[in-house]
Structure 1
Amino acid sequence: MEIYHNCMRCMNRRVRVLTRDGRIHEGTIVRVDRDNVYLDTDRRDGPVTISAYGPYGYGYGFRGRNTILTLSLFTLLAIALI
């Protein structure tokens, strides 16, 4: 399976993935198995409130968590390093 080997070569690197339905996804490949590729995307799933001064201090900041996108290897059309 050529797409599997291409994904393995791109592990931990930023890629642009084109799927058979015409969608484009960008992110870093964090894992590949025989059926799926796991892409750490730049999308955020919303802010998380954290204390800027530790658990007992005052002040708050926001950070988002990246979304891991699971794509089936069978739906991938092309993959390119960016």
Structure 2
Amino acid sequence: MTAIYQSCCSMLNRRVRIKMKSGKIHIGKVVKVTGTHVYLQKTRRKKGKAQTHSFFGFFTIPLVLFDLLAITLL
């Protein structure tokens, strides 16, 4: 197992900030981790409170593990 996979597994069900190699930053809750992807439930801040849904309802995005540069707890 890779170090980034183990880091993602240890942060399951926690709010994180993920920085991609491209420089893009994603903020959300880790809801699932596989050998190749981490699934992030996106959040956004509004008036000091974190919201875990969009206008259209809850959504999750898959991120490829080898494209991750860093993952930190919020």
For normalisation by structure 2, the TM-score amounts to 0.82
2:63 to 41, 65, 71: 71
CA RMSD of aligned residues (A): 1.0
Q: How many aligned positions are there? A: 64
Secondary structure in 1 matching 2:9: helix
1:25-36 mapped onto 2 (5 Å cutoff): 25-36=26-37
* C-alpha distance in 2 between matches for 1:33 and 1:45: 28
Aligned-residue offset at 1:67: 1.6
1:68 Cα shift? 0.2
1:12–1:30 Cα contact (<8 Å) kept: yes
How far apart are the structure 2 equivalents of 1:67 and 1:25?
13
Shift of 1:45: 4.8
Where in structure 2 are the equivalents of 1:2-81 lying within 5 Å? 2-42=3-43, 44-46=54-56, 65-81=57-73
Whole-Å separation in 2 of the counterparts to 1:5 and 1:45: 32
Q: Which amino acid aligns with 1:16?
A: R
Stretches of structure 1 lacking an aligned partner (at least 5 in a row): 47-64
Unaligned runs of 5+ in 2: 44-52
Bigger CA radius of gyration: 1
Identity score, percent? 39
